[in-house]
Structure 1
C-alpha cells in the first residue's frame, strides 16, 4: 500500500513540475513530503485529506493499486478535455493555500469611458466553492441628473498562475461582456491593496473595449455588507472618500504596473474632477 501511494503521488507531482510549489500550496513540510514520495513514510489522516483535496481526488484513489490509479487518471483526462472550453477547467481549479488569504470582500476601483473623469467603485467578493475560487462583483452608479442609472452584477472565476492573480468575469445578463482583471499578489502577509489592470467593454456611449488601471482594497470582516454596497458608485478624483493610495495609482498617466513588469502601456485621457459623489456630466 505504501509503495502504491508513493508511486501515485509521484505521478501526480510529475504533472505539477515543482515539488517545492506543491508543498507550499498544500502547506506541508518539504522534508516530510519527500518521505511520502520515497515511500519511507505515510501521511497522517488529516494530511492525506489535504493532499487528496489538492489533487482533486479521493483518499481511496490515492491508496489504489498504481496500475488501476493510472487507468482511472487516463479515463478522467480524456473526459475532462472533451471540449475546447474544458481546457480552461484545470487553470481555474485550485487547491492552493496561498489563494485563501485573498478570500473576502473588496472595493474595486477603475476608470471607465462610461464615466469619464471619475472613479467607478464596485463591490467584489472572492470566495471558495467546490475546489474553485469564485468572484461576484456588483456595480452601482447614477448620473447627476438621475437620467442614467447603472446596475450590474458579474460572476466569475479566480486563479493564481505564474505569480499573478487572474480574474475572469461575465455580466449576469444575455450577450453581456466578459471582463478580465490581472492583479499583482500582495507582497505582505496582510492583504490591503491589490493593484493591476482591468480590461472590458464600456457600457456607454458605445460598446468600446478599454483598459484601466485597477486597484482593489480589502475590506474588514466587520464592515456591514449594506454599508460596503452603499459606498459604491462614481466618485470624483478629489473626493475625500477616495484614499490617497487609490487616487495616486489611478492618476498615473500610463497603464504600466511597476513591481513585476509591464502588462500594457497606453496614454490615459486627462481627467477633470467633479465635486461630489455621483456628479457626472
Structure 2
C-alpha cells in the first residue's frame, strides 16, 4: 500500500506548480513531506486526513492501487486556485474573513464526540452520530458521520457532513454540508464548557429532514465528548437510531434533547 500511496501522492502534487507550493499550502516541513513522497514514512491518521482534505479526495481513495486511482482522479474536478482577479471577489473576501475569525479557544474542543438529537427523518427516535473536530492550517473543521439502519433490515445508510467551526462571544458555531447527496446544509450552536474537563455540550441544531418531506426543523442537541483519539470502527458501530427510552442512552442525555417548550417561553430555546 505504501508504494501505491507514494505514487498517488506524487500524482496529486503534479496538479500544482511545485512541491514547495504544496508544502507551503499544507504548512508542512518540506523534508518531512519528501519522506512521504519517497515512501520511507507513512503519515499518521490525522496527517493523512489533512492531505485528503487538501487535495479533495477520500482517505480510502488515496490508498487505492495507482492505476485505479489515476482513473478516479481523471474524473474529479481540478482543485480551486485563487487567482489575483479572485482576490477582490467580495464573496471570497467574506469567506476568508469568516474562516479567520473565531478560532481562538477551540483547541480544548478538538477530538471526537457522540452527537444526540431527536431524528428529523425518523420521528420518535434518537439519532446518535459520530463527530470529529480537527484543526488544519490554523482553521478548525469538523466531520459528522451518520449510520442509520432500520430495524429488521440489513441495509445501512451512511451520511457524511463536513463543515467549519467558529467560537464567537462564548458560543460555538458550526455549519456543515452533506457531502454524499449534496442536499443539505445544517447549522449547530453550542454552549461552550467553562470547566477544565469537557463532558457534554448542549445547544440547538437547525436543518431539514432527510425524508421526502424535507421539512425545516430545529431540535435540541447534546455533544458527548469521547476524547482526542478513539477507535473509529468501534465508536461508529454504536451510532444509529435508538428508542426514546433506550437504556443504551444515558438518562441525562435523553432528558436534555427533549423538545419541550415552557408556557412562558416565546421561542424554542436551548437548555444550558
TM-score category by the smaller chain?
A: 0.5 to 0.7
Query: Deviation at 1:188?
Result: 0.9
User: Are the aligned partners of 1:126 and 1:135 in contact in 2 as well (CA < 8 Å)?
Assistant: yes
1:193 to 200, 207, 218: 200
Correspondences of 1:128-277 after superposition (within 5 Å): 128-146=135-153, 149-221=156-228, 223-254=230-261, 264-265=267-268
Secondary structure of 1:245's counterpart equals helix
Secondary structure of 1:240's counterpart equals coil
Query: Deviation at 1:190?
Result: 0.9
Secondary structure of 1:186's counterpart equals coil
CA offsets 1:183-207 (integer angstroms, 9 cap, x no match): 0001212111110000011111411
How well do the aligned residues superpose, as a CA RMSD in angstroms?
2.6
User: Are the aligned partners of 1:93 and 1:133 in contact in 2 as well (CA < 8 Å)?
Assistant: no
TM-score by length of 1: 0.60
2:120 is aligned to 113
Q: 2: distance between equivalents of 1:184 and 1:263?
A: 20
**Count of residues in correspondence between the two structures:** 184
Query: Deviation at 1:264?
Result: 4.4
**Larger Rg, first or second structure (1 or 2):** 1
Q: 1: distance between equivalents of 2:175 and 2:239?
A: 21
Query: Deviation at 1:86?
Result: 3.2
Q: 1: distance between equivalents of 2:129 and 2:103?
A: 26
After TM superposition, the runs of 4+ consecutive aligned structure 1 residues lying more than 6 A away are: none
User: Are the aligned partners of 1:197 and 1:255 in contact in 2 as well (CA < 8 Å)?
Assistant: no
Mark the CA change 1:238 to 1:211 in structure 2 (over 3 Å): closer, same or farther. same
Q: 1: distance between equivalents of 2:173 and 2:193?
A: 14
Query: Deviation at 1:255?
Result: 9.3
Q: What residue ranges of structure 1 are gaps of 5+ in the alignment? A: 1-77, 257-261, 267-281
The farther-off stretch of 164-173 and 213-222 is 213-222
Q: What residue ranges of structure 2 are gaps of 5+ in the alignment? A: 1-84
Q: 1: distance between equivalents of 2:246 and 2:184?
A: 29
Query: Deviation at 1:150?
Result: 2.6
User: Are the aligned partners of 1:213 and 1:255 in contact in 2 as well (CA < 8 Å)?
Assistant: no
Secondary structure of 2:257's counterpart equals helix
2:58 is aligned to none
2:93 is aligned to 86
User: Are the aligned partners of 2:120 and 2:208 in contact in 1 as well (CA < 8 Å)?
Assistant: no
CA offsets 1:247-276 (integer angstroms, 9 cap, x no match): 1101251399xxxxx99418xxxxxxxxxx
Q: 1: distance between equivalents of 2:266 and 2:94?
A: 24
User: Are the aligned partners of 1:201 and 1:210 in contact in 2 as well (CA < 8 Å)?
Assistant: yes
